[in-house]
Amino acid sequence: MGYEKTTQEIKELYLKDSRPWIIGLSGGKDSTCVTQLVYYMLKELDPSQRNKTIHVISNDTLVESPIIEQRIKKTISKIRKSSKEDNLPINSKVLKPALNDTFWVNLIGRGYPSPNKWFRWCTDRLKIKPTTRFIEEKVEKSGEVVVLLGARKDESASRAQTMKEYEIPEYNLRTHSKVSGAFIYAPIEDWTENDVWSYLMQVNSPWGGNNKDLVALYNKADEECPFQTDKSTEPCGSSRFGCWTCTVVDEDRSVEGLIEEGEKWMKPLLEFRNWLKEIRNDKSKREDTQKQSMKKSVFADELDLDFEAPKHRGHKILGPFTFETRHEILKRLVNLQENKLEKDMELITPEELKAIETILIYEGDEISSLADILEENVGETEEKFEEMSKIKEISEKHDVDPRLVEKLMVVENDLSSLSSRVGLYSRMEEVLDEHIVSKAKKEGKTSEG
């Protein structure tokens, strides 16, 4: 495959209109190839022809394989610096999931079971939503955008079929499966894997150096982890470019391979990941029923009605991780971060810890703060003691559970900085619902179904 022909095609499409371009850079060989081709094309243009911005975006799921996370950040930094020196209209950015969507907030806070191939809740929240949000913002501003991906037809039959499904042949573009006004362009769709490697080995990176370090990340067992814009993409936990927490695949060949090659400090990460996979279907670690079924069961009992929990293939559907399991995961994770890793890594952010604390209290957990879980010797200040005494006094006077009062105060304080106070009453209702369910569960009033 002559890359000169592809470069010419890219140039013609770039000059055709004023639609901004967005390049999805995963750090793998295909997306790196596309980014290089576009960069060199821009350099060849007269400055007066560089008439639109090209956004180079990468995803940081916050649970990336540490080696890849470092590589992506380094590459984005180099592209940012080099494009500025070359006076190219390139905007480089690393996208992250919203706090409400992060892996730990959902796994520990909401108790979502570790992802598997049937319930792969992580991909949408960690990758697709941040990307979609960015694309939608650019569409809203410009009307239409073109998204460039390193997708190739020879990767798999399903990939070829998906590409054909959204094809607009006369424009060499495809419609985006989710965002109206966004079009997909795959410059190397007809290239083979050998074509890609041949180009990368012949042509040095325009932002400095050669691509030999990229070759070192691949071996025969690895698979490409493409930039993901929809759910049709296969999971890539077995590749060097997956998340270190990935439990979708049976074995994490990525981290195993890195450990074999000398990254021994990652062994505790692999052990933790294996444990998350192991506990997923452990009934003792999960609620007997799903959250909504539990609520319906409680209210059915109150109304003296029959209720049968939904089943899947004759088996009861397990609910989220129990509070005890969520506590255990959190303690192990914090211990891993503080004591087990040889390298200084932030596995979970302070913002995530605060969000987890709030969600646990909203959902009826019997804690007042994460200190209860982490068993820290925080001690009670005189002010805190007085506050608890007042809560107890008021609760006894009105015959209300003091724990409920505490939880409602958490909601109030959580929203106290918002001038509009949007969502205050709905969140209080959620806390009341969870308190009723929790109380009924303890008293054994929930139906088994």
With vertex at residue 319, the alpha carbon angle to CA 318 and CA 320, rounded to the nearest 5 degrees, is 130
Would residue 105 count as lying in a domain?
no
Sequence-ordered list of residues with C-beta below 8 angstroms from that of 33, at least 6 positions apart, any chain? 150, 188, 191, 196, 199, 200
Q: What is the CA radius of gyration of the chain?
A: 26
> Is residue 307 one of the residues assigned to a domain?
yes
Rounded to the nearest angstrom, the gap between the alpha carbon of residue 186 and the centroid of all alpha carbons in its chain is 24
| Residue 325 identity | T
Distances in whole angstroms, Cα of residue 19 to Cα of each of 11, 14, 369: 13, 8, 49
State the Cα–Cα distance between residues 252 and 249, nearest whole angstrom.
Answer: 7
Residue 244 lies in a domain: no
pLDDT at residue 237 in the model: 45
Do the Cβ atoms of 14 and 22 come closer than 8 Å? no
Do 50 and 132 fall into the same domain?
yes
Q: How far is the CA of 216 from the CAs of 222, 289, 439, in angstroms?
A: 11, 46, 56
pLDDT at 166: 45
* Residues 150 and 28: beta-carbon distance below 8 Å: yes
Contact 273, 255 (CB under 8 A): yes
Cβ neighbours of 82 (radius 10 Å): 17
Which residue in this structure is represented by tokens 């495959």?
1
Total of domains in the chain: 2
| CA distance between the termini of the chain | 62
Which phi and psi (to 5°) does residue 48 adopt?
A: -70, -20
Give CA–CA dist 347/324, Å, rounded: 21
Say whether both 177 and 306 belong to one domain: no
Which of 226, 254, 272 is a domain's end point? 226
In a domain, 267, yes or no: no
Query: Diameter of the chain by CA atoms?
Result: 83
Sort strands 173-175 and 167-168 into parallel, antiparallel or unpaired.
antiparallel
314 lies in the same domain as 196? no
Whether 64 and 136 share a structural domain: yes
| Residues 11 and 132 both lie in one domain | yes
Domain-ending residue, one of 226, 248, 265: 226
d(CA 236, CA 440): 42
Do residues 219 and 312 both lie within one domain? Answer: no
Domain's final residue, options 183, 207, 226: 226
Answer yes or no: do 208 and 291 share one domain. Answer: no
Q: Residue written as tokens 């499966």?
A: 177
Same domain for 300 and 216?
no
Domain that holds residue 387: 287-320+348-442
Q: Is residue 273 part of a domain?
A: no
Q: Does any domain span residue 93? A: yes
Residue 414: the pLDDT is 59
Q: Are residues 137 and 14 in the same domain?
A: yes
* pLDDT for res 141: 95
Tokens of 68: 């890849």
Q: 7 in a domain, yes or no?
A: yes
Statement to judge: residues 41 and 183 lie in one domain: yes
Strand, coil or helix: 278: helix
* pLDDT, one tens digit for every residue, the chain (449 residues): 578 999 999 999 999 999 999 999 988 899 999 999 999 999 999 999 998 999 999 999 999 988 888 889 999 999 999 999 999 999 999 999 999 999 999 999 999 999 998 889 999 999 999 999 999 999 999 999 999 999 998 875 544 455 455 455 545 788 888 899 999 999 999 999 999 999 999 999 999 878 888 887 775 345 555 555 555 555 454 455 678 999 998 888 878 888 888 889 999 999 999 999 999 989 999 987 755 555 554 444 555 555 455 555 555 568 899 999 999 999 999 999 988 887 888 899 999 998 999 899 888 888 888 988 987 533 443 444 455 566 667 777 777 776 677 666 666 665 544 444 556 667 667 666 666 666 665 566 554 44
Please report, for the domain that includes residue 86, its CATH number.
3.40.50.620
Amino acid at 75: T
